[in-house]
Amino acid sequence: MNKYCIRKKEVFDKCKQTTKILIAMTICVFLSISSSQVIGNNYLHGSVSFESDQQKTEIRGTITDEKGNPVPGVTVVVKGTSLGTTTDIEGNYILNNIPHNAVIQYSFIGMRNQEIAVQNRERIDVVMEEETIGLNEIVAIGYGVQRKVSITNAVSSINSQSLSERNSTNITQALQGKLPGLTIIDRGGAPGSENLTTRIRGVTSLNDNNPLVLIDGVPGSLARVNPADIESVSVLKDAASTAIYGSRAAAGVILVTTKTPNDGKLSVTYNGYFGIARSNNNPEHMEAVTYLKQQNEAYMNTYGYKFYSDEYIQKWPENHANDPEQYPLPNVWHNTLFRLAPQHSHTVTLSGGSERITNRISFRYMNEEGILPNYGFNLSEMRAKNGFKLNDKLTFDTNINIRFSERKAPYNEWESYNRMWQNSQWGVPYYKDGSYGLTVDSYSPLINVYEMGKASSKRTYIVGIFKANYEILNGLDLSAQYSTQHNMEIWNSFNNKYDFVDKLHPDRRTFNNINRMYDYRDKSQEEGIDLHLSYNKTFNKHKISGIAGYSEIHYLQSWVEGYRQNFYNNQLQALSMGADDATQSATGGNSEWGLRSYFARLNYDFDSRYLFEANARYDGSSRFATGHRYGFFPSFSMGWRISSEEFWNPLKDTVEELKIRGSWGEVGSQQVGLYTFMPTYNQQNYLFNETLATGFRQINLASEDISWETTTQLNFGLDGYLFNNKLNFSFDYYRKLTTDILLMVPIPSIIGLQPTNQNAGSVENRGFEFLVGGRQSFGDFDVELGFNANYNKNKVVDLAGTGPHISAFGNSDYRTITTEGYPINSFYGFETDGFFQTQAEVDNYAKWDGSVGPGDIKYVDQNGDGELTPDDFVIFGSEIPDWTFSSTMSVGWKNLKLDLFWQGVAGSDKLMTGAILEHGIWGGFTHKIWEDYWTPENPDAKYPRPTKYTMKNAQISDFSMLNGSYLRLKNIRLSYDIPRNLCERINVNGINVYISATNLLTFSELNKYDIDPEMEGRGQESSFPQTSVTTFGLNINF
């Protein structure tokens, strides 16, 4: 092993060792704090007390709801201590040795917390009141929190209880369809590499459209958060709510808040599940004899002869039954490779503390296998949050998250699923002797996943957040936060040397004579500093609050990559074992960028009726040249709580809360290349005096004036709560205009350089969002319903004289165009006019392909010039949906609860592509749907006549476009809370068991083609398949 490999191994080993030490130290700190807390509290409540033993008493009581029903499981704690209990099945509780001047706290999920002074009483009965839906909910916003009733911006939020209704390996999946304005497309993906797209209010730019994700105020990824650690998620949608994040907020902001430790006695919880995943769409191939006849038709239509004799076809069923190896089925790869894949996750959480010190630490292990062989992902992580109240004015909090993950996959992932579709006919998966069979094109998906080689990646992610808060004066606080993130990745792939021959068909052979290895190492570090003053004061009917702050981010990255080939064998998979010759290569690089920002917010509330908010951020980015580095992003919003006016009093019983709000603001995007503003030089060899020399030359024109993309957004909203808050609704209308979008603007060729991006284009999104929800009890039954719908219309407004921008794939079965007046990436191809029915009709039509005949698709000659060319292409559809919608339904009966979650889209178009469209043109999978093809005897067929080795009937056109609308039962979950008296027998506070299933039922035109409606582009044969997962789960609160 060379010095490079040894050194890198030492570095990563040290990092891993350091991380293990940090975990051990965190555990020790937690245990020592918890131990000291227990000892301290025992001492406090033993010989030393608030008062003498004669002044203590026993407190008993019963806790009921507003209907008089007992409420089991209510947490009852003596304020400022860890002394407490929970109510039993009858709602009763007992507390011993309680001081007469103590205060008791009562809390329960979904009900309003209460504090009651003992005042020499021996019995305290409590009636718990239901928390008003939404009105007093605390919602996370930029650099703070607000009561929902006081918010004047477009903000959607969801709590941990709602998120837990769907099990997922990635919290992004659990958010799908849950919040208006947030669109998530789940395109499947291999374990550890889920293919999820997140958009807030449409596609904003021609470049990066990913929203900013902040986890406890620090930039991160939704995939890096344990769902069991999440307290709430807020989505900031309009510019008024996102402007305080300035240049990173053009695509919206998602705020994730993790659970904080609670004071009181130590509690331990377990959350775990075991699931089985299966492929969501298993296509059905055309029946064998029908396929043989269809192929004969294709050869006759193209070459004038049959490929299979009538006798061969007639005897095929009998021959197959007697000798399935010599006469295999056309394509059985999906049934052969797809399998049931187990996955399981386990989280253990410890939480507790005192009034001065609180601690919460969670541990998770997750393992996920793939529905295709040799795919897998496992994860181990820890999150520790500690709070220290140093005195009445100063607090200090720490938040540490450490993750180890490892992913495995075949060497060539794309081929592992693509070869089930393409070049895949007439292959025997395994012969009886265990050897591989090959298709007529000499491929085997089994060889791809088992023998071609493997790829693996190991990642270590560490983040530490350290925050202090000091109360300078009553209502004036100073907060300081430092964060540091470290991400280390080792990725390598090894392509085996192999040689396989089909034993019954020696002419079928697949081989690789050179084994090779790639080794990639990446390390990045991001540090952030946030300082801000916050003010909150009430003067009679006037409430004023605000913040003023400073933020700084510094990012560093370095990477190296090595390559070697011709290893001695396939087992010696270390880079140093490859050939040390001219074929080896090594490269690497590093990058650095920074942000420096100043921000402020002002809130004014008059008598809880008239609300005003202003935000501003002054951002500086190292990605731009001097003179263009800083941008100013303001926003304003107002709200009027009409229901707080006196004239509304007669309507209060019907509409308790009604608020109108409006906002305007600007945000930006700094997602440009790091060094596009400066001239850069590339190394290049040239001849000088007949000798090879090395020099440097500028290739690209520097864009010194490049600056921010800016999104301006206008928003109007209406929020209401009706019928004693049993029904709530929210409506928003918005218009987003993104200007100065980065485009490749042409430059005169005389300059001698390649163009780079310049600020030029603009894109508009208009739409509205609607949400309605309610709940009602009928005796022992509780019913909750929710529905939200989003409408968005995307349009390219200006391309600054460039374009149209056209993107095509392969054999022209997929082509998109971005041009003014249409949605981004609209479908672009031929319009069709049925099939040719006679040769005379062909002869008298526009010329295109000399082999066109009756039964072929008739493409429209748009300009009437007698030829079919790209000039006849039209825009005929878009994959971007007009509507996205979802619905939640929950029915509870005593301890049993059923949750259903529906999700779907409307106004979306999809394309048949690849093998599904080609219908046996090449040696690919031929779907049974194509059995209804054109013949002279079947002129009204749904599909054109079969042909061979020509794409004339597989061009992108409105013929290949399908309705992409769908409605899917995304998740169904049945849960049961074990009765309280049974839990007490085994000394636990509560047990919940459940069974759930995802993607269980789908209504869509795409079903008959076995195309998953959430796939995008050419995803059906170019992406890891979408899955459906059945899960059995258990939650225990010790």
CATH of the domain at 192: 2.170.130.10
Which regions of the chain are under pLDDT 50? 1-54
Q: In this structure, are residues 57 and 50 in contact, taking their beta carbons and an 8 Å threshold?
A: no
Which amino acid is present at 326?
Q
Q: CA angle at residue 500 from 497 to 505, to 5 degrees?
A: 160
Q: What is the DSSP string of 397-453?
A: EEEEEEEEEEEEEES-HHHHHHTTTSS-TT--SB-TTSPBP--TTS--HHHHHHTSE
pLDDT score of 109: 65
In a domain, residue 827? The reply is no
Helix (H) or strand (E) holding 155: strand 155-159
Q: What is the DSSP string of 709-763?
A: EEEEEEEEEEEEEETTTTEEEEEEEEEEEEEEEEEE----GGG-SB--EEEEEEE
pLDDT score of 9: 42
Which amino acid is present at 664?
W
| Domain interval for residue 229 | 138-264
Helix (H) or strand (E) holding 183: strand 182-190
Give every CB contact of residue 96 below 8 A, 6+ residues apart in sequence: 58
pLDDT score of 651: 92
Structure tokens at 63: 């806790």
In a domain, residue 499? The reply is no
Beta strands, E only, 566-703: 585-606, 610-621, 630-641, 655-669, 681-688, 691-698
User: What is the rounded end-to-end Cα distance, in angstroms, of the chain?
Assistant: 51
What backbone torsions phi and psi does residue 523 show, to the nearest 5 degrees?
-140, 130
pLDDT score of 985: 84
What backbone torsions phi and psi does residue 197 show, to the nearest 5 degrees?
-115, 130
Which amino acid is present at 616?
A
In a domain, residue 944? The reply is no
Please give the Cα distance from 18 to 589 (Å, whole number). Answer: 25
Give every CB contact of residue 200 below 8 A, 6+ residues apart in sequence: 181, 182, 183, 211, 235, 237, 251, 252, 253, 254
Structure tokens at 193: 């590499």
Q: What is the 3-state secondary structure (H, E, C) of 607-631?
A: CCCEEEEEEEEEEEECCCCCCCCEE
Strand pairing class (230-236; 155-159): antiparallel
234 strand-pairing partners: 157, 255
pLDDT score of 32: 42
* Three-state secondary structure call for residue 29: helix
State how far the alpha carbon of 509 is from the alpha carbons of 437, 439, 569, in Å.
10, 9, 21
Cβ neighbours of 917 (radius 10 Å): 25
Q: What is the DSSP string of 200-250?
A: ESS---SS--PPEEEETTEE--GGGS-GGGEEEEEEE-SHHHHGGGGGG-T
Angle between helix 310-322 and 288-303 (nearest 10): 150
Strand pairing class (990-1004; 691-698): unpaired
In a domain, residue 23? The reply is yes
DSSP type of residue 989: S
Give the end of a domain, one of 10, 26, 44: 44
Structure tokens at 187: 């395109």
Helix (H) or strand (E) holding 1021: helix 1019-1022
In a domain, residue 196? The reply is yes
pLDDT score of 715: 96
pLDDT score of 955: 93
Are residues 147 and 34 part of one domain? no
Alpha-carbon torsion, ordered 104, 108, 112, 116, to 10 deg:
-10
279 strand-pairing partners: 1027
Q: Note if the bond before 219 is cis, omega within 30 degrees.
A: no
Q: What is the DSSP string of 799-827?
A: -TT---EEEEETTTTEEEEE-TTS-TTEE
Work out the burial of residue 235: count CB atoms within 10 Å of its CB; fewer than 13 is exposed, 13-18 middle, 19 or more buried: buried
pLDDT score of 82: 66
In a domain, residue 582? The reply is no
- What is the radius of gyration, based on Cα positions, of the chain? 33
Give every CB contact of residue 862 below 8 A, 6+ residues apart in sequence: 831, 871, 872, 873, 874
In a domain, residue 156? The reply is yes
Closest CA to 925 of 285, 410, 301: 285
Q: Encode burial over 806-832: b for 16+ CB neighbours within 10 A, e otherwise.
A: eeeeebebbbbbbbeebbbbbbbbbbb
Strand pairing class (253-258; 212-215): parallel
In a domain, residue 666? The reply is no
The count of domains in the chain is 2
787 strand-pairing partners: 772, 887
Closest CA to 326 of 405, 426, 249, 236: 426
Q: What is the DSSP string of 491-514?
A: EEEEE--EEEE-SS-TT-EEEES-
Q: In this structure, are residues 505 and 462 in contact, taking their beta carbons and an 8 Å threshold?
A: no
Q: In this structure, are residues 649 and 661 in contact, taking their beta carbons and an 8 Å threshold?
A: no
- pLDDT tens for each residue of 185-206: 887 788 998 888 899 998 888 8
Place of tokens 């994700």: 213
528 strand-pairing partners: 483, 553
